[in-house]
């Protein structure tokens, strides 16, 4: 049984009462402000953290920025509720050191979890459960506010990942001595960090949040069981991957998407969120943010850049408009 009916409460509040302004000067009593925003039933809007393009995605040979330059660029954007990084999903050993350097630059620039909570993708859990345990601990040691589990196809995968997010002394798999540089980004001692770094809402006082992505046929088949797992903080349809799932090649060699099937898959995930009172996330743009908010999605991640900035602005204006 879930301790909070987050989705239902959000809908009730957004139709009948006020919420805390996302532009207010309210000082959070929590280390992780995203959790307070969930508890206040607010919509949440974030951005992919800025990063250098890889060689194959930089045909123009644009100059590479240093991590301090990227950190400075990050702090110039004031409206994002969180930062997101997905690079470790497919290249943990290559991407983790780059992320560590970026977080260190963020600390030097004055950022903390309270000002810039971060969420990162972990590699697929089912590929190697032991490696997943190690990888999640290493990512938590960088000071992230949460971990996203990708391509989830069973409740068992989620349950293992959630245990990996919790210290052994709290019933999990994370070594109790594991803190890394997290206390520096959280702005507290190692002992304070270990006390606070537990999974919400399993522990109502916990400061870590889980995001889980369903993006395969098997995941869609088991989405209700996945959504029912206690500890899933936000459930997402993997919109881009699902689009590929429902795309075929026509006689001209062009990729053609069955738009109706793709949308049905998205709505199936949303329906599971509503049934089990789990906030639902979506990677939005200016083209669909208002529609997805009206459907009931409440957490949004956008690409870094002008469209992403404009999408946040549009979403926050729409969120304010939902509440008298």
Q: Does residue 174 sit in helix, strand or coil?
A: strand
> Which of 144, 171, 300 lies closest to 231 in space, CA to CA?
171
Measured CA to CA, the distance from residue 133 to residue 26 in angstroms comes to 36
Do residues 207 and 145 lie in contact, with contact meaning Cβ atoms separated by under 8 Å? Answer: yes
3-state secondary structure of 268: helix
pLDDT in tens, the chain (324 residues): 344 444 444 333 333 332 323 444 555 579 999 999 999 989 999 999 999 876 555 556 678 999 999 999 999 999 999 999 999 999 899 999 999 999 999 999 999 999 999 999 999 999 999 999 999 999 999 999 999 999 999 999 999 999 999 999 999 999 999 999 999 999 999 999 999 999 999 999 999 999 999 999 999 999 999 999 999 999 999 999 999 999 998 888 888 999 999 999 999 999 999 999 999 999 999 999 999 999 999 999 999 999 999 999 999 999 987 543
Q: What's the pLDDT score for residue 7?
A: 40
Q: Can you give the pLDDT at residue 58?
A: 56
- Integer-rounded Cα Rg, in Å, for the chain is 19
Where b means 16+ CB within 10 Å and e means fewer, 226-245 reads bbbbebbbbbbbbbeebbeb
Handedness of CA 209, 287, 268, 243 (dihedral sign): negative
Q: Which pLDDT score is estimated for 60?
A: 66
Query: What token pair was written down for 63?
Result: 């100059």
Predicted local confidence at residue 74, as pLDDT: 97
Distance from C-alpha of 237 to C-alpha of 324, rounded to nearest angstrom: 30
Select from 113, 33, 34, 105 the least CA-distant residue to 73: 105
pLDDT digits (tens, 9 = 90+) for 191-233: 999 999 999 999 999 999 999 999 999 999 999 999 999 999 9
Segment (H or E) for 226: helix 223-227
103 vs 143: CA distance, rounded Å: 8
Query: Phi and psi for 8 in degrees, rounded to 5?
Result: -65, -45
* Assigned CATH for 6-19+28-52+63-247+255-280: 3.20.20.60
Look at residue 262 and give its three-state secondary structure.
helix
Domain boundaries, the chain: 6-19+28-52+63-247+255-280
Task: State how far Cα 300 lies from the chain centre.
Answer: 9
Convert the pLDDT of each residue in 147-173 to its tens digit: 999 999 999 999 999 999 999 999 999
- Residue 284 has, within 13 A of its CA and on its CB side, a CA count of 29
Q: What is the pLDDT of residue 28?
A: 58
Dihedral class, residue 247 (left if φ above 0, else alpha if ψ from -120 to 50, else beta): beta
Q: Residue 137 in contact with residue 112, Cβ under 8 Å?
A: no
Residue 270 makes CB contacts below 8 A (sequence gap 6+) with 237, 280, 295, 296, 297
At residue 9, the pLDDT reads 40
Q: How far apart are CA 229 and CA 161, in angstroms?
A: 11
* Strand pairing category for 255-257 and 247-249: antiparallel
Q: What is the pLDDT of residue 249?
A: 86
């Amino acid at each position: 049984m879930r301790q909070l009916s987050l989705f239902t409460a959000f809908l009730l509040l957004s139709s009948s009462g006020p919420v805390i302004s996302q532009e207010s000067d309210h000082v959070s009593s929590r280390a992780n402000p995203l959790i307070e925003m969930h508890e206040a039933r607010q919509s949440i809007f974030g951005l992919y953290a800025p990063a250098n393009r890889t060689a194959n995605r930089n045909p123009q040979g644009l100059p590479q920025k240093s991590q301090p330059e990227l950190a400075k660029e990050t702090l110039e954007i004031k409206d994002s509720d969180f930062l997101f990084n997905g690079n470790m999903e497919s290249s943990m050993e290559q991407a983790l050191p780059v992320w560590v350097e970026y977080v260190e630059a963020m600390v030097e620039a004055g950022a903390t979890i309270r000002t810039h909570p971060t969420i990162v993708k972990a590699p697929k859990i089912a590929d190697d459960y032991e490696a997943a345990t190690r990888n999640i601990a290493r990512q938590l040691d960088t000071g992230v506010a949460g971990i996203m589990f990708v391509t989830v196809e069973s409740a068992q995968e989620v349950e293992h990942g959630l245990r990996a997010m919790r210290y052994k002394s709290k019933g999990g798999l994370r070594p109790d001595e594991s803190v890394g540089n997290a206390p520096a980004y959280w702005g507290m001692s190692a002992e304070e960090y270990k006390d606070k770094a537990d999974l919400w809402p399993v522990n109502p006082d916990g400061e870590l949040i889980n995001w889980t992505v369903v993006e395969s046929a098997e995941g869609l088949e088991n989405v209700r069981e996945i959504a029912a797992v206690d500890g899933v903080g936000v459930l997402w349809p993997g919109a881009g991957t699902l689009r590929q799932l429902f795309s075929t090649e026509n006689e001209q060699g062009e990729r053609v998407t069955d738009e109706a099937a793709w949308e049905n898959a998205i709505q199936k995930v949303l329906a599971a969120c509503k049934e089990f009172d789990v906030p639902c996330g979506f990677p939005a743009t200016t083209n669909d943010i208002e529609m997805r908010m009206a459907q009931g999605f409440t957490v949004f991640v956008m690409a870094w850049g002008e469209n992403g900035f404009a999408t946040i602005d549009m979403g926050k204006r729409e969120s304010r408009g939902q509440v008298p």
